[in-house]
Amino acid sequence: MAKTKEEPKIKEEPKIKEEQKETGEKKIDKNLLKIEELEKEKEELEQQLDKEKNDYLRLMAEFETFRRRNAEERLALVSSAAADTIKGLLPVLDDLERAMELLKDSKDEAAVKGTSLIYEKLFAYLKSKGLEIIDAVGKDFDTDFHEAVTQFPAPSEDMKGKVIEVVQTGYTYGGKVLRYAKVVVGA
């Protein structure tokens, strides 16, 4: 009987090894599948991370553009407000010029000196803020800076097409024309 007991053991051992082989192969297959799934998941996460990183960089670039544009708009607004204020003071400057012209022949030195002082202070202040006079007399007529009021026959041949007289002074502010010079042009 001992032989019969041993024989089944021998027959069982190969079955166990085959079962272990099958389960081992199944475990390896499952592990390979799990590794493949994890690698796919890793690639998807890396792609998602790249996408999020690109979105973040775009958002930061858009924000930087917004911030820069906003700062430029604020500067333009301040500059526009200053230009409007200075433009509003130009009639006062014109009146002071006319007053000085009228007082030139006056014997009242206090009025001449006082008006001249007020004009010089006001003009110095406006000049410090960026106001410049458009130099016109004797220059070629330029529609970018001059507005022709009328044409007169030129006193000489070389004055044709040039500014003979300034009727109203023109000004620039920050390199831009604030008020065109009204001029008489030689024809």
Which tens digits make up the pLDDT trace of 106-136?
A: 888 888 899 999 999 999 999 998 899 998 8
For residue 75, being part of any structural domain is answered with yes
User: Taking the model in full, what pTM does it have?
Assistant: 0.58
21 and 93 part of one domain: yes
Q: What is the pLDDT of residue 27?
A: 74
Residue 171 structure tokens: 């000004």
Per-residue pLDDT of 21-51, as tens digits, reads 666 667 777 888 889 999 999 999 999 999 9
**Mean pLDDT for the stretch of residues 65-75:** 93
For residue 161, being part of any structural domain is answered with yes
For residue 2, being part of any structural domain is answered with no
89 and 155 part of one domain: no
Residue 81: which domain range? 17-97
35 and 92 part of one domain: yes
Give the count of domains, the chain.
2
Q: What is the pLDDT of residue 29?
A: 79
Query: What is the rounded average pLDDT for all residues in the chain?
Result: 84
**Mean pLDDT for the stretch of residues 49-77:** 93
Q: Where are the beta strands (DSSP E) in the chain?
A: 131-133, 146-152, 163-168, 171-173, 176-179, 181-186
Q: What is the pLDDT of residue 90?
A: 92
pLDDT band at residue 138, thresholds of 50, 70 and 90?
confident
Q: What is the CATH number of the domain that holds 153?
A: 2.30.22.10
For residue 114, being part of any structural domain is answered with no
Q: What is the pLDDT of residue 139?
A: 87
For residue 9, being part of any structural domain is answered with no
Instruction: Count CB-CB contacts under 10 A for residue 186.
Output: 19
Residue 1 structure tokens: 């009987």
For residue 108, being part of any structural domain is answered with no
Distances in Å between the alpha carbon of 93 and those of 97, 103, 121, 170?
A: 6, 15, 11, 11
Alpha-carbon span 116 to 131, nearest angstrom: 19
87 and 30 part of one domain: yes
For residue 92, being part of any structural domain is answered with yes
For residue 121, being part of any structural domain is answered with no
Give phi and psi for 134, each to the nearest 5. -85, 115
Q: What is the pLDDT of residue 10?
A: 47
Is the model's pLDDT at 63 over the cut of 90?
yes
Task: Report the percent of the chain where pLDDT is more than 70.
Answer: 87
